[in-house]
Chains A and B, each alone.
Chain A
Amino acid sequence: SQTIHQWPATLVQPVGSPLSLECTVEGTSNPNLYWYRQAAGRGLQLLFYSVGIGQISSEVPQNLSASRPQDRQFILSSKKLLLSDSGFYLCAWTPLRGRVTEAFFGQGTRLTVV
């Protein structure tokens, strides 16, 4: 069965420090991968979307970047965190094709920038 791993679960980082969040998917090939951010009590903001290795689409220009070095690995990074980067970060994957192409989410990383 397919699983998605996202870590860490919580993170407290000082302003100006770097960030690296990792997401890996198991049990499937060629997934579409997503990074979302959710501010407290708010909706899901799509940050990055990837259809394949090295293929990244950025939906919102910001202080973050994403990379997909392997088929089932998606990394969210920042060189210098801002206070406004605080939030709940969710990785998700969807099948490349299929009758029901639901999104499967990781457990999320709650990032607090102090």
Chain B
Amino acid sequence: GQQVMQIPQYQHVQEGEDFTTYCNSSTTLSNIQWYKQRPGGHPVFLIQLVKSGEVKKQKRLTFQFGEAKKNSSLHITATQTTDVGTYFCAAYGGSQGNLIFGKGTKLSVKP
């Protein structure tokens, strides 16, 4: 079945440094979603990208959808301790058309 591969699995940064997580698929995606899960919490939707080459920003977060709609990235500028958590990408396309999640990138920020 379709898979979305996400890298890196872990990322440790100093506060103020930038952070990027990448999501890749072997097949073309209709759209891609990004979620954030705070420690001890549940995943919360951040954004959905639909168009080829789309770029969206939410304050210090920049989301990109590749031109071929097979990859996406989430970039955080000048990380803060509040950015700590696991970031997941997700796309529809399982055997039943269900939502498939990447394995996530766990971000830790050292103050």
Residues of A within 8 A of B (CB): 32, 34, 36, 41-44, 46, 49, 51, 57, 59, 90, 92, 94, 100-108
Give the shortest distance, in Å, between A75 (CB) and chain B (any CB): 18
- Number of A-B residue pairs at CB separation under 8 A: 55
CB-defined A-B contacts under 8 Å, sample of 14: A42-B103, A46-B94, A49-B94, A51-B96, A57-B96, A92-B43, A94-B99, A101-B48, A101-B92, A102-B45, A104-B45, A105-B42, A106-B42, A108-B41
Bound CA–CA A41/B102 (angstroms) = 14
Known: A43-B104, A92-B43. 20 other contacts (CB 8 A): A42-B104, A43-B103, A44-B43, A44-B104, A46-B98, A46-B100, A46-B101, A49-B94, A59-B94, A59-B95, A94-B99, A100-B48, A101-B92, A101-B99, A102-B33, A102-B45, A103-B35, A103-B99, A105-B42, A108-B42
Give the shortest distance, in Å, between B92 (CB) and chain A (any CB): 7
Bound CA–CA A30/B100 (angstroms) = 20
Interface size for B (C-beta < 8 A) is 22
Max chain B C-beta neighbours (<10 A), residue from A90, A92, A102: A102
Which A residues are CB-close (under 8 A) to B43?
44, 90, 92, 103, 105
